[in-house]
A and B are shown apart, each in its own frame.
Chain A
Amino acid sequence: MPNIIDVSDLSYRYQEAGSRVLDHVTLSVKQGEWLAIIGHNGSGKSTLAKCLNGLIQPEQGNVVVSGYNTKDESAIWKIRRRVGMVFQNPDNQFVGATVRDDVAFGMENHGVAREEMLQRLDEALKLVKMEAYADQEPHRLSGGQKQRVALAGIVALQPLIVILDEATSMLDPEGRRDVLETMKLLNKQRGLTVLSITHDLDEAVHADRLIVMNEGKVIRQGTPAEIFQHAELLEEIGLDLPFAVKMERLLRQRGLEMTERPLTQEGLVNALWTLRSTM
């Protein structure tokens, strides 16, 4: 699969005298993949996200999105239409009086023809399972529903990639699950590329690939299995570990040797079941 985002040697700082928030970052995002970026607060994750749709211009290096460099001012709107973003606080991103108006807002801004717009609107609301709420006021929805409406607004613009910037961190467990299920559907069935910036490591284990950031640098890239093999490194930089990884380690300390290192609760339950049958 071709890359749809290429970041090369990207550096950025907010104040000239300040330290680098992004420090020579090089990475790429492949079309159709689910990529998660993890790191603690202040590691540069959100700044990186803002560079990807040209909200921030690199101090050094380049960001290229489906062939367009974010430094090219004439391409900035093409880039933003290809890169949709969902932010942390669902209440900060509503403009429409109804769910339908809100989802239409982005398309109106981009000059989508009315007939086309109506069709995309219905389709987007169906995808996020919010069609029953089309005429409701957005502020009366739950957090998870709000984020799904925000997603519908983005999907309607037919972007290449959706960036979730801590998009589930303010939601309750059910809202979080709802949004993730919706994202999985969009990723697997519609081939939408997903870049998720997250603290939720139990979410991150479901990504195709993980990037670990610390102090503005990319310090690790790999599959979840590869990344979580280095549990100590992640803890050193202040990150938590998925439940199954922590539990497997405690069980190993208590003398249980499993042949694999599961990343999910389900995987660990199965591994223990297998182990028990040989006990």
Chain B
Amino acid sequence: MDITVNHVTHTYQPGTPFMRMALNDVSVAFPSGSFTSIIGHTGSGKSTLAQHLNGLLLPSTGSITAGDLTLEGGSKRKKKKINFKALREKVGYVFQYPEHQLFEETLLKDVAFGPINFGVPQDEAGRRAKACLELVHIPSAFWERSPFDLSGGQMRRVAIAGVLAVQPEVIILDEPTAGLDPRGRKEIMDLFDQLHRQQKRTIIMVTHNMSDAALYSDQVVVMNHGSLIMAGSPAEVFSRDEALQRIGLESPETMQFIRRLAEKIGTPQPTLSAFTMEDTADAVLKLLKGDAAHV
């Protein structure tokens, strides 16, 4: 399912002294099956943009098209006519700290709650719950236990399973790895990478982690003060180091390292992009040797 954002502006608390333009004429497309990362400073509008994509927020002006549904802004909007339920069944949203929303007596009940809510029969919801708990690597020994007996990382995975059990075509992630340890972070990112590659789900991730944005995305969208200021492949976006620095963002550590090394040994800044550690090590060798050949 393609999602297209057309000239969307969002104003918080219009007509009050606290009025603030959180999105300013944003246009961007999230093609079906793509993995997009939205990056930007705290308060740049990244989460506001994400919340528009399944109708949690509606545009003040502009419109959003998600599959065959259109969310119009402003006076054109007839709120009652929007089928939010159909939209949210297709566009799942994993909030920041989703584990805070766990509430059921057992893991299975908690994960099955979403599909049941969308009218999936009990036994089918139960089957989906089991499949999704397996997908997020929660051993079956835990399934009949309370979610509150789990560790933070496990609770996060159960909450994600709850969104996956609805079988959304598009999954929006708001800082999915915040507060997790490195192992937990890697498990969660591997899971979404797998959902993207193997099941062709569309993933839209709001993140502060530039390495994750570089490693997993097809498209990186950069937000600043409510405006979209760059969109492109990770290689395109992270080659514009100075532009990113001006808005308080950094390139992934791998790129920072290559640039620092090039500067120190006095060669021109390399145009290559390397986001994995292996590619970076190879790039370092090239930098050192390439330079040595000139001497």
Closest to A248 in B: B281
Contact of B183 among A238, A243, A279 (CB under 8 A): A238
Q: Which B residues touch A276, using CB under 8 A?
A: 265, 288, 291-292
Within 8 Å of chain A (Cβ to Cβ): is B68? Answer: no
Which of A107-115, A117-125, A267-275 lies at the binding interface?
A: A267-275
Q: Which A residues touch B43, using CB under 8 A?
A: 142
Cα distance A225–B166 when bound, in Å? Answer: 48
Asked if residues B184 and A172 are in contact (CB atoms below 8 Å), the reply is no
Within 8 Å of chain A (Cβ to Cβ): is B42? Answer: yes
Within 8 Å of chain B (Cβ to Cβ): is A239? Answer: yes
Within 8 Å of chain B (Cβ to Cβ): is A247? Answer: yes
Within 8 Å of chain A (Cβ to Cβ): is B80? Answer: no
Q: Which B residues touch A251, using CB under 8 A?
A: 281, 284-285
The B-contacting residues of A in range 160-188, CB under 8 angstroms, are 166, 169-170, 172-175
Within 8 Å of chain B (Cβ to Cβ): is A216? Answer: no
Contact with A along B255-295 (1 / 0, CB 8 A): 01100110011000000000001101110110011011000
In angstroms, how far is the closest chain A Cβ from the Cβ of B194? 20
Cα distance A253–B284 when bound, in Å? Answer: 13
Asked if residues A41 and B265 are in contact (CB atoms below 8 Å), the reply is no
Within 8 Å of chain B (Cβ to Cβ): is A158? Answer: no
Cα distance A173–B42 when bound, in Å? Answer: 10
Asked if residues A246 and B181 are in contact (CB atoms below 8 Å), the reply is no
Contact of B208 among A173, A243, A272, A279 (CB under 8 A): A173
Within 8 Å of chain A (Cβ to Cβ): is B248? Answer: yes
In angstroms, how far is the closest chain B Cβ from the Cβ of A44? 12
Cα distance A40–B187 when bound, in Å? Answer: 13
In angstroms, how far is the closest chain A Cβ from the Cβ of B114? 25
Cα distance A256–B64 when bound, in Å? Answer: 53
Asked if residues A254 and B285 are in contact (CB atoms below 8 Å), the reply is yes
Cα distance A142–B43 when bound, in Å? Answer: 8
Within 8 Å of chain B (Cβ to Cβ): is A199? Answer: yes
The A-contacting residues of B in range 11-56, CB under 8 angstroms, are 41-43
Closest to A177 in B: B250
Cα distance A268–B277 when bound, in Å? Answer: 14
Q: Which A residues touch B264, using CB under 8 A?
A: 269-270, 272-273
Asked if residues B208 and A247 are in contact (CB atoms below 8 Å), the reply is no
In angstroms, how far is the closest chain B Cβ from the Cβ of A252? 10
Cα distance A173–B178 when bound, in Å? Answer: 12
Within 8 Å of chain A (Cβ to Cβ): is B67? Answer: no
Q: Which B residues touch A173, using CB under 8 A?
A: 208, 210, 249-250
Cα distance A268–B258 when bound, in Å? Answer: 11
Asked if residues A265 and B285 are in contact (CB atoms below 8 Å), the reply is no
Within 8 Å of chain A (Cβ to Cβ): is B119? Answer: no
Q: Which A residues touch B198, using CB under 8 A?
A: none
Within 8 Å of chain A (Cβ to Cβ): is B152? Answer: yes
Q: Which A residues touch B249, using CB under 8 A?
A: 173
Given contacts A41-B151, A254-B281, contact A265 B256 (CB under 8 A): yes
In angstroms, how far is the closest chain A Cβ from the Cβ of B244? 11
Within 8 Å of chain B (Cβ to Cβ): is A215? Answer: no
Given contacts A166-B179, A273-B265, A279-B288, contact A265 B257 (CB under 8 A): yes
Within 8 Å of chain B (Cβ to Cβ): is A240? Answer: yes
In angstroms, how far is the closest chain B Cβ from the Cβ of A253? 8
Cα distance A88–B63 when bound, in Å? Answer: 38
Cα distance A250–B264 when bound, in Å? Answer: 20
3 nearest A-B residue pairs (beta carbon): A240-B182, A250-B281, A238-B183
Taking A243-B257, A270-B264 as given, write out 19 further A-B residue pairs in contact, using a Cβ cutoff of 8 Å, ordered by the A residue number.
A40-B182, A40-B183, A40-B184, A41-B151, A41-B184, A142-B43, A143-B42, A166-B179, A169-B178, A174-B248, A175-B42, A238-B181, A239-B181, A239-B182, A240-B182, A247-B257, A250-B277, A250-B280, A272-B264
Interface residues of A (CB under 8 A from B): 40-42, 88, 142-143, 166, 169-170, 172-175, 199, 238-240, 243, 246-247, 250-251, 253-254, 256, 265-266, 268-270, 272-273, 275-276, 279
Interface residues of B (CB under 8 A from A): 41-43, 151-153, 178-184, 208, 210, 248-250, 253, 256-257, 260-261, 264-265, 277-278, 280-282, 284-285, 288-289, 291-292
The 22 listed contacts between A and B (C-beta, < 8 Å) are: A40-B183, A41-B180, A41-B181, A41-B184, A142-B42, A143-B42, A172-B42, A173-B208, A173-B249, A174-B248, A199-B182, A238-B181, A247-B277, A247-B280, A247-B281, A251-B281, A254-B285, A269-B261, A272-B261, A276-B292, A279-B288, A279-B292
